[in-house]
Amino acid sequence: MNAPPLYALQYDAIVRGALAEDLGRAGDVTSDAIVPAESLAVARVICRAGGRVAGLEAALHAFRVLAHDADIRVQAADGSDVGPGARLAEVRGPTRALLSAERTALNLLGRLCGIATATRDIVRRLEGLRAHVACTRKTTPGLRALEKYAVRVGGGASHRFGLDDAILIKDNHRAIAGGVTEAIARARAHAGHLVKIECEVDSLDELDEALRAGVDVVLLDNMSLGDLREAVRRAHGRALLEASGGITPETVKAVAETGVDVVSLGWLTHSAPALDVSLEIG
């Protein structure tokens, strides 16, 4: 697994916000009406479909928030691959709390396991090729830290986390600056010595201009496979080349085979299907 464990500080507010959204103004009126207040239960978190586990501690935090004394036993670590029917964790505690936290926990877990599984599968498709798999900033608002963590658990990397950790000159920046060369010059004058500068280009002519300007990374946006191969030939190692734009699991291998260094997919965090997980009490 490429990702160190998350700190509780990174997901506590997310989990509490999701619980507050679900509980609303009156709480879990169904469980309060049907389940005796003193009732205790054992719940098992089950993975119904095979996949890669990610975000389990964040998901289980929902039970801890509503039942501080819950006994939680984790049975599958993040980064592990499990088959259908695998038991991921067992939770013992007040029945009402377990039922009230169920949907928040499963929503987070299914989402993050789905992203990690999709990333794992794409990374496996590219075994033997030089290209690395990266996600983008096309994440669910408020869930970026968790979704990018899931990508890393799946074996991928992050394009950039936010607007503040790298300079990426996009088409609107180029238009405002008056072109590729001027945009890169302005970026270099502003950036600190540790900040990488990447420039998005739409054509081979813009690639040549970015290379002459000495950019660190070039983002090849929505280029054909032929243009990507030609871009690799022209760059000849002078800059890192990242292919991006509309890449899917079906097209990613052909893109990687052109020889680019990085293939970035917004698909990983905006379209990867959730993994089917469930909570069984009894």
The string of pLDDT tens digits covering residues 81-114 is: 999 999 999 999 999 999 999 999 999 999 999 9
Q: Are residues 92 and 225 in the same domain?
A: no
Domain assignment present for residue 168? The answer is yes
Task: Report pLDDT for 146.
Answer: 97
Task: Report how far residue 238's alpha carbon sits from residue 226's, in angstroms, rounded to the nearest whole number.
Answer: 19
Confidence of residue 282 (pLDDT cuts 50, 70, 90): confident
In the structure, what pLDDT confidence band is assigned to residue 77 with cuts at 50, 70 and 90? Answer: very high
Same domain, 109 and 223: no
Q: Tokens representing 243?
A: 């292919």
Is 103 a catalytic site residue? Answer: yes
Q: Verify that 117 and 134 share a domain, yes or no.
A: no
Catalytic residue among 87, 103, 229, 238: 103
Cβ neighbours of 26 (radius 10 Å): 7
Crossing angle (nearest 10°) for helices 95-125 and 8-23: 120
**What does the DSSP 8-state code read for residue 4?**
P
Identify whether 3 is part of a domain. no
Please state, in angstroms and rounded to a whole number, the distance separating the CA atoms of residues 92 and 95: 8
The span from the CA of 237 to the CA of 187, in Å, is 22
Q: How many CA atoms lie within 13 A of 126 on its CB side?
A: 31
205 in any annotated domain: yes
- Catalytic status, residue 170: yes
Of 121, 221, 227, 230, which is the active-site residue? 221
Residue 40 lies in a domain: yes
Q: Residue 75 belongs to a domain with what CATH number?
A: 3.90.1170.20
For residues 218, 219, 223 and 226, what is the CA-based torsion angle, rounded to 10 degrees? 40
173 and 261 share a domain?
Answer: yes
Residue 170 lies in domain:
126-270
Judge if 181 and 213 occupy the same domain.
yes
In which order are the strands placed within the sheet that holds 277-281? 71-74, 86-94, 40-47, 277-281
Q: Which DSSP category does 247 fall into? A: -
In angstroms, rounded to a whole number, what is the distance separating the alpha carbons of residues 77 and 249?
26
pLDDT at 3: 80
Task: Tell me the C-alpha distance between 256 and 247, whole Å.
Answer: 10
Amino acid code (one letter) for 169: I
Based on the fold, state whether residues 133 and 22 are members of the same structural domain.
no
Strand, coil or helix: 82: strand
Residue 256 confidence (pLDDT): 98
Number of structural domains, the chain? 2
For the record, the structure tokens of 118 come out as 């999709």
Tell me the Cα Rg of the chain.
22
Examine the domain organization and report whether 29 and 92 are in the same domain.
yes
138 catalytic per annotation: yes
Q: Is position 2 within any domain?
A: no
Q: Are residues 59 and 173 in the same domain?
A: no
Instruction: Examine the domain organization and report whether 131 and 252 are in the same domain.
Output: yes
pLDDT digits (tens, 9 = 90+) for 191-231: 988 899 999 999 999 999 999 999 999 999 999 999 999 99
Q: What's the average model confidence in pLDDT over 225-242?
A: 97
* Annotated active-site residue in 57, 200, 206, 216: 200
Nearest to 88 by CA among 98, 101, 79, 99: 79
Residue 114 sits in the same domain as residue 43: yes
Band (1; pLDDT cuts 50, 70, 90)? low
- Domain presence at residue 12: yes
Distance in angstroms (rounded) separating the CA atoms of residues 172 and 170: 6
The pTM assigned to this predicted structure is 0.95
Q: Is the pLDDT reported for residue 2 higher than 70?
A: no
Residues 255, 132 within the same domain? yes
The first and second tokens of residue 281, run together, are: 């009490």
- In a domain, residue 228? The reply is yes
Convert the pLDDT of each residue in 141-196 to its tens digit.
Answer: 999 999 999 999 999 998 899 999 999 999 999 999 999 999 999 999 999 888 99
Chain position carrying tokens 């085979």: 257
In this structure, is residue 1 part of a structural domain?
no
Query: Residues 30, 142: one domain?
Result: no
CATH number at 148 reads 3.20.20.70
Q: Which of 16, 92, 138, 253 is catalytic?
A: 138
- pLDDT value of position 159: 85
**Quick check: is 148 catalytic?**
no
